Amino acid sequence: MFYTSTRDKSIKVTASQAIAQGISEEGGLFVPCELPQFDAEKINSMVGMSYIDRAKTVLKEFLTDFSEDELNYCVEGAYSAEKFSSKAVAPTVKIDGNKNILELWHGPTCAFKDMALQLLPYLMTVSAKKTADGKTIVILVATSGDTGKAALEGFKDVDNTKILVFYPVDGVSPMQKLQMTTQEGNNVSVCAINGNFDDAQSAVKSIFTNDAIKKQLAEKNMMFSSANSINWGRLVPQIVYYFSTYCDMISLGNIKLGDKMNVVVPTGNFGNILAGFYAKQMGLPIKTLICASNSNNVLTDFLTTGTYDRNRDFYTTTSPSMDILISSNLERLLYHMSGEDDKLVADLMNKLSKEGKYTVSEELIKKIQSTFDAGFTSEKDVDETIKNHFEKYNYLCDTHTAVAVRVYDEYVKRTGDDIPTVIDSTASPYKFSKSVLTAVLDGKTPELDEFDMVDKLNEITGAEVPTPLASLKDKKVRFNNVCNKEDMSEMVFSLLEL
C-alpha cells in the first residue's frame, strides 16, 4: 500500500514515510492510493474480537510496511487497560429507539483525540526508525484544546521525540488549559498565543514548510512532524472505531450484518468524519455521514451550497474544539471525490489561502451530497439539548456531543430517515463542566471554581467523574509562556534551544 499527495499525484511514499513526514513537501496531505476492501464475511469475523484485535485487523491493511511484531507492539501499547477506563475502549451505548452513542472519551485525557494520539507516538517512532534513523522528531501542535493535551500525554517521555504545543490564549476551557499547563514529562513545552486556533494552525503550517528552519533543525539532527489531524497516523486509527461500533451494533442486536447505519459527527477539522468516509469506502455499510457544526458553520454552508468561505465572523462557543473556520481534512475528501484531481485540489487550496474561499462544480458537490448531510446548532439549542437529554434519558452529554445530537434530531425531522444511527460522543461532560452545569441549571452558572463545578455536576447528575480530571486538582502549573502569532517561529527556536 502506497500513499500519494492531494496536490501532486506523482508522489509515492510508504506508510512509514507518510507518518514520519506528516505533510507532503509541496503542502499537500498524504492519502492512500487505494483502499482495502472489507466484505461482510470479514466484518463478521471482527464481531467477536476485542478492540485491540479489531484495530490490528484494520491497521494491518494500511501499514503494510510494519511487521506483525511492530504492529502488535504499537496497538497493544496504545489501547492497554491502564490507559483506557472502559474495557471496550470505545463503547457504543443505546439511548432510545435507533439512537446510539459511540463514546470516544475513555482515554487518559477524556476526549476522542486519545483514540488516535495514544497510537500515533508508537506509529511515529517505529516509522522514524525505518525512514529517518537517529533523528529526534519534533512534534509541533496547534490545538483548539483537546489535541494539545492528548498529544502531550501520548508523547511525554517517548525517546527521540520532543513536543511543543500552541493554544489560543482565550480559546480553550479552564479544564483544558489546566490539563496542558500542568503537563508532566521531560520532552514537553506548552505556549499560549494571542490569536485564535486558525492563527495557530496557519503559523504551525508555515513553520513546517519553511526551508530555512528545516535546515537548521537538520543540522541538529532533528526533524519536524505533525500530530495534527493532517498526519495520516492520526487519521488511520480513527477508521478502526467505525468498524468497531458497527460490530458492537450487531452484538447489541441493533442491526444485522449487512444492514446500513447512519453516523453523526461533531466536526471541526473534518478528521473524525473523514475516517468515517474511509470506512464507508472500504465497504462498511454506512448510509449517510451527518456533519454537525456549531455557530462556526462554514462546513454546513459548504456541504449545502458547494462554496467554502472562511471570510466570516469567528465565534467563540461552548464547544471550542469545533471553533474552526479552516477544516484541513476537507482537502482529502475533495481529492477522493473529484476522482483524484490533484490539479483541482491544488487550485482550490491556493484560492482558499489567497481569497479565503472557493466554489466547487455542481457535479462535485452533488456527488459529495450523496454521502454527506450537514447541519449546525445555536448555543441556546446546545444547552437545551444537554438538559433535555439528561432529563429524558438520564444521559449526560458534553457540549460537542450535544451539537451532534441536536443536528441529528433535526435531520430526522427534516428527512424522516431514522434508521439505526451512531452519534459520536467526543468528550466527557466533565471536561466542559461549567458549560454543562450551566445548561443543566437552565442558564444559571454558580459562582464556583472549576473543581467545585465538577463536584456540583457530579452531585446533581450522578455521572461518574473520570479519574484523570479529578486528579488534576493536585498538580502544579509548569508552563506560563504567552507569545504573539508572529513570534511563534522564534518561540520554537527558543524552546528547542537552537
Type of residue numbered 41: E
Closer to ligand PLP by Cβ: residue 272 or 433: 272
Judged by CB under 6 A, does residue 321 bind ligand PLP?
Answer: yes
Rule CB under 6 A: choose which of 99, 400, 406, 434 binds ligand PLP: 400
User: What is the C-alpha to C-alpha distance for residues 450 and 469, in angstroms, rounded to an integer?
Assistant: 11
Q: Which residues lie below 8 Å from residue 106, measured CB to CB, with a gap of 6+?
A: 84, 85, 86, 89, 90, 91, 114, 466
User: Of 127, 267, 293, 294, which lies in the binding site for ligand PLP, with binding defined by CB under 6 A?
Assistant: 267
- Segment contacting ligand PLP by CB under 6 A, of 14-22, 261-269, 347-355, 442-450: 261-269
* Distance (Å) of CA 331 to CA 31, 271, 324, 379: 10, 10, 15, 28
Residue 349 corresponds to which cell in the numbers above?
Answer: 487550496
Among 20, 203, 250, 322, contact with ligand PLP (rule: CB under 6 A):
322
**One of 272, 318, 377, 433 touching ligand PLP (CB under 6 A):** 272
Which DSSP state fits 189?
E
Q: Is 103 near ligand PLP (CB under 6 A)?
A: no
Tell me whether residue 139 is exposed, middle or buried, using C-beta atoms within 10 angstroms of its C-beta: 0 to 12, 13 to 18, 19 or more.
buried
Q: Give yes or no for a contact between 107 and 401, defined as CB atoms under 8 angstroms apart.
A: no
Q: What x/- string results for residues 427 through 466 when contact with ligand PLP is judged by CB under 6 A?
A: x---------------------------------------
The residue within the footprint of ligand PLP, chosen from 168, 266, 276, 468 (CB under 6 A), is 266
Q: How far is the CB of 268 from ligand PLP (least distance, A)?
A: 3
Indicate the SS3 state at residue 139.
strand
Taking the least distance from each CB to ligand PLP, the nearer of 121 and 276 is 276
Determine how many CB atoms are found less than 10 A away from the CB of residue 339: 9
| Residue 403 beta carbon to ligand PLP: minimum distance, rounded to whole angstroms | 8
Instruction: Supply the minimum distance, in Å, between the C-beta of residue 247 and ligand PLP.
Output: 22
Q: Which of 113, 135, 431, 434 is catalytic?
A: 113
Q: Do the Cβ atoms of 227 and 117 come closer than 8 Å? A: yes
Closer by beta carbon to ligand PLP, 254 or else 327 = 327
Tell me how far, at minimum, the Cβ of 267 lies from ligand PLP, in Å: 4
> CA nearest 167: which of 496, 485, 401?
485
Q: Is 268 in the site for ligand PLP (CB under 6 A)?
A: yes
> Closest separation between CB of residue 330 and ligand PLP, Å?
10
Residues whose CB falls within 8 Å of the CB of residue 19, separated by 6 or more in sequence, listed in order: 120, 123, 124, 127, 225, 231, 232, 233
Angle separating helix axes 232-251 and 51-62, nearest 10 degrees: 140
Residue (24 or 426) nearer to ligand PLP, CB: 426
Distance CA 269, CA 194 (A): 21
Half-sphere exposure of 495 (CA within 13 A, CB side): 25
Q: Among 426, 435, 438, 458, which residue sits at the site for ligand PLP (rule: CB under 6 A)?
A: 426
Least separation, in Å, of the C-beta of 363 and ligand PLP? 26
| Residue 195 in the binding site for ligand PLP (CB under 6 A) | no
Smallest distance from the beta carbon of 221 to ligand PLP, in angstroms? 32
DSSP 8-state code for residue 475: P
From the CA atom positions of the chain, what is the Rg in Å?
21
Query: Shortest Cβ distance from residue 410 to ligand PLP (Å)?
Result: 18
Q: Does 113 bind ligand PLP (CB under 6 A)?
A: yes
Judged by CB under 6 A, how many residues of this single chain contact ligand PLP? 17
Q: Does 229 bind ligand PLP (CB under 6 A)?
A: yes
Interacting span for ligand PLP (CB under 6 A) from 111-119, 217-225, 245-253, 474-482: 111-119
| Residue (250 or 427) nearer to ligand PLP, CB | 427
Residue 425 φ/ψ region, left for φ over 0, alpha for ψ in the -120 to 50 degree band, beta for the rest: beta
* Long-range contact set of residues 387-391: C-beta below 8 Å, sequence gap at least 24: 387/439, 387/440, 387/442, 389/95, 390/440, 390/461
Does residue 111 bind ligand PLP (CB under 6 A)? Answer: yes
- Give yes or no: 156 in active site: no
Tell me the DSSP string of 41-104: HHHHHHTTS-HHHHHHHHHHHH-TTS-HHHHHHHHHHHT-TTT-SSTTSS-EEEEETTEEEEE-
Question: Which residue, 128 or 454, has its beta carbon nearer to ligand PLP?
Answer: 454
For β-strands 8-13 and 3-5, DSSP reports them as antiparallel
Taking CB under 6 A as the binding criterion, the range among 109-117, 187-195, 204-212, 340-348 that sits at the site for ligand PLP is 109-117
Q: Select 268 or 420, whichever has its Cβ closest to ligand PLP.
A: 268
Which CB sits closer to ligand PLP, 66 or 243?
A: 243
CB 386 within 8 A of CB 436: yes
Using the contact rule CB under 6 A, the part of the chain among 28-36, 70-78, 170-178, 266-274 near ligand PLP is: 266-274
Q: Under rule CB under 6 A, which residues in 120-159 are in contact with ligand PLP?
A: 146
Q: Which three cell numbers stand for residue 103?
A: 463514546
- Give residues with Cβ within 8 angstroms of 458, minimum separation 6: 430, 464, 465
Q: Does 269 bind ligand PLP (CB under 6 A)?
A: yes
Tell me if residue 326 falls in helix, strand or coil. Answer: coil
Question: Segment contacting ligand PLP (CB under 6 A): 55-63, 268-276, 389-397, 414-422?
Answer: 268-276
Known catalytic residues are 113
- Site residues, ligand PLP (CB under 6 A): 111-113, 146, 229, 266-272, 321-322, 400, 426-427
